[in-house]
Amino acid sequence: MSPPRSGGRRRHPATRRRALDGARLTAYDVLDAVTSRQAFANLLLPQLLRERQLEPRDAGFATQLAYGTLRAQGTLDAILTGLVSRPLAELDPRVLDLLRLGAYQLVDLRVPSHAAVDTTVDLTRAIVGTGASGLVNAVLRKVAAGGDRAAWLAALAAEGDERLALATDHPGWIVDAWRDALGDEAELEPALLADDVAPEVHLVARRMDRAALAEESGGQPGPWSPYAVRLGGGDPGRLASVRSGRAAVQDEGSQLAALLLTRAPLDGPESAWLDMCAGPGGKAGLLAVTRPGGVRLTAADRAPHRAELVRQALAGEDDVEVVAADGREPPWQPGTFDRVLLDAPCTGLGALRRRPEVRWRRTPEDLAPLVELQLELLASALAAVRPGGVVAFVTCSPHTEETVAVVDVAAARDDVEVLPVAPLFPEVPDMARGDYGQLWPHRHGTDAMFMALLRRTR
């Protein structure tokens, strides 16, 4: 019997993986974790990059590959469907992810076809086996022959909303939701395209001067929040002020949502604020440093581990209390608070730029249970506030059902009055959505945050 050959086919899988392109392997591992165990790319990828200590250039490429492939999944699958003889759902999920990874490089990044095809075939051989590599090779060669995204979109001959969905990497139901929320057809495509790119990193200067944070980070002051700094690039985790907690990463829209609560006009003195769904503590962190002296901040979250993150975000702040509690069955007495922030659990459709797989994971069926929860939490927030006090209702989604429709229900009560949001932000253009507020990536460079302000009249 001849001894095992030392060639690639007989090597142990771990040995084979070591010989592979680090950026592409890391991107594949993210895709596989998203597919096989519902991982979140924005949590997993930074962890893998740290563990594997990729060079900055490779780390950047791995990020582009993983996020880009996840965002483009709808278009890539539409292309692959015509090239594979079986339904894609019947393929080995690892093979499908490898095909998507290769196709993304060919169609969107225009990586030379020999590099994109050969590296993906190598990955396939190492991860799945030689049998699958033939299929991957054959299919990717056809993808390469079809040209770039524009050529493929023309070949797919999609029209109307189907074309818009493919061209902007959104499922059709999200295209519908954005059209409805924007109310302006001319803005729809630019809005969806702005939602299809990686966002800038925004910092919040919590316990330090914003100018000092801009200098330390090399960033620019944000245009809307007086606490915001926008970073051109680089890892915010390297900044001493972020590591010490004097500054943090927070989208500028999220900062405005917290500031909304602080800016609402209030009758009478105040001593107690509540952040009812506070985890992981982004907005609570800003509320803690912007509240007037003598105001106690209570921050709650139903999930104990999220409440723990709030505790960490508020470490070192005086006169704060963090509780793990369900806002619908609260430990506090009715009418306890002067101001309540309800940053409600939602579909997260306004933050798709930073969670690339969420657009394909969410479905319209997710809305009904969330809306029910939002209505209950809003009723509870209004019960928690004293007469004359205010409730800010916020979601990181523009979907009408979980924004305007929810607040409209509460606004119809005879003890509730709507306070217009936009006049409280005279520096922010085009944010009025009726009396409510709506931020957009294409208009404001922020997540698509929705905000409303309600006052208990009695």
Ligand X SMILES: C[S@@+](CC[C@H](N)C(=O)[O-])C[C@H]1O[C@@H](n2cnc3c(N)ncnc32)[C@H](O)[C@@H]1O
- Residues of this chain that bind ligand X (CB under 6 A): 254, 277-283, 300-303, 306, 326-328, 343, 345, 377
Strand (E) or helix (H) holding 201: strand 201-205
Q: Closest distance between ligand X and the C-beta of residue 71, in Å?
A: 21
The verdict on whether residue 445 carries a ligand-binding annotation is: no
Cα–Cα dist 62/225, whole Å: 32
Strand (E) or helix (H) holding 297: strand 296-301
Q: 396, 407, 431, 452: which one is catalytic?
A: 396
443: number of Cβ within 10 Å: 18
Cα–Cα dist 301/295, whole Å: 20
Tell me phi and psi for residue 414, to 5 degrees. -85, 0
Cα–Cα dist 211/215, whole Å: 6
- By C-beta, is 144 or 377 nearer to ligand X? 377
Q: Closest distance between ligand X and the C-beta of residue 362, in Å?
A: 14
DSSP-assigned states of every residue in 341-385: EEE-----GGGTTTSTTHHHH--GGGHHHHHHHHHHHHHHHHHHE
- By C-beta, is 127 or 276 nearer to ligand X? 276
Q: Which tokens belong to 282?
A: 């982004």
Q: Closest distance between ligand X and the C-beta of residue 172, in Å?
A: 25
Cα–Cα dist 372/375, whole Å: 5
Closest to 267 (Cα-Cα) out of 389, 133, 442, 400: 389
Strand (E) or helix (H) holding 113: helix 113-127
> Three-state DSSP class for 322?
strand
- By C-beta, is 68 or 350 nearer to ligand X? 350
Q: Closest distance between ligand X and the C-beta of residue 229, in Å?
A: 18
- By C-beta, is 61 or 273 nearer to ligand X? 273
The verdict on whether residue 326 carries a ligand-binding annotation is: yes
- By C-beta, is 300 or 391 nearer to ligand X? 300
Q: Closest distance between ligand X and the C-beta of residue 328, in Å?
A: 5
Q: Closest distance between ligand X and the C-beta of residue 430, in Å?
A: 23
- By C-beta, is 161 or 326 nearer to ligand X? 326
Cα–Cα dist 319/341, whole Å: 17
Q: Closest distance between ligand X and the C-beta of residue 302, in Å?
A: 4
The verdict on whether residue 191 carries a ligand-binding annotation is: no
The verdict on whether residue 142 carries a ligand-binding annotation is: no
> Three-state DSSP class for 326?
coil
The verdict on whether residue 278 carries a ligand-binding annotation is: yes
Q: Which tokens belong to 298?
A: 């209570």
- By C-beta, is 21 or 275 nearer to ligand X? 275
State the chain's maximal CA–CA distance in angstroms. 92
421: Cα separation from own chain's centroid: 24
The verdict on whether residue 279 carries a ligand-binding annotation is: yes
Between strands 436-438 and 220-221, the pairing is unpaired
The verdict on whether residue 275 carries a ligand-binding annotation is: no
346 labelled catalytic: no
> Three-state DSSP class for 235?
coil
The verdict on whether residue 283 carries a ligand-binding annotation is: yes
Q: How many CA atoms lie within 13 A of 169 on its CB side?
A: 23
Cα–Cα dist 348/374, whole Å: 13
Cα–Cα dist 317/311, whole Å: 10
The verdict on whether residue 282 carries a ligand-binding annotation is: yes
Binding residues: 277-283, 301, 326, 343
Binding residues for S-adenosyl-L-methionine: 277-283, 301, 326, 343
Question: Catalytic site residues?
Answer: 396
